[in-house]
Structure 1
Amino acid sequence: MPESTITSKGLTTLARRVRECLSLQPGDRLRYFIDGGTVRFAVVRPVGHLFGTLQFDGPPVTLDEMGGAIAETAGGRIRR
């Protein structure tokens, strides 16, 4: 299990194995979640990182059609 040491300034280095597993690069940001004695972290990615992850090959739809589909899927819980 990878581990690291904290310096006198409170800094630490993530083990290479951890950085590689998460595809971390210099300058990447991490967000920490503290729960009792456990700390978890997640990589903070800019929203632009999601560009191109969803594909739609169908015909274009209007905003009204999208709203109707969302309302239908939500079982009428969304009011337009």
Structure 2
Amino acid sequence: MAAATITSKGQITIPVDVRNRLGLQSGDRIEFCFNGATGRYEVYPVTRSLASLKGIVKKPTKPVSIEDMNLAVEEQGASAR
């Protein structure tokens, strides 16, 4: 079983074997989820590949021109001020 020590700032270093099994690299994010059935927290990698995001945004029903996109960006920028 892997172990880590919590620093005075509440930080830990995840042991290398745990990072390897989770496929974690420097800069990756993790999520802590409480499992009510076991009464324990579980750790999940949050980092996703770009390919995993495919299909999240639906295709527009009608084509949108570059000019329309630029106009929408300008309008959003103006309303944000």
Q: 1:10 to 1:49 in 2, by over 3 A?
A: farther
Unaligned stretches of 5+ residues in structure 1: 53-80
Partner residue, 1:42: 44
Offset at residue 3 of structure 1 (A): 0.3
Choose between structure 1 and 2: higher helix proportion: 2
SS of equivalent residue, structure 1 residue 2: coil
Q: Deviations over 1:21-74 (max 9, x none)?
A: 11110000011112464111110123514279xxxxxxxxxxxxxxxxxxxxxx
Q: So what's the TM-score if we normalise by structure 1?
A: 0.55
- Structure 1 runs (4+) greater than 6 angstroms displaced: none
Letter in 2 for 1:41: V
Unaligned stretches of 5+ residues in structure 2: 55-81
Partner residue, 1:12: 12
SS of equivalent residue, structure 2 residue 20: helix
Q: So what's the TM-score if we normalise by structure 2?
A: 0.54
The size of the alignment, in residue pairs, is: 52
Paired-residue identity, %: 37
Letter in 1 for 2:41: V
Letter in 1 for 2:33: F
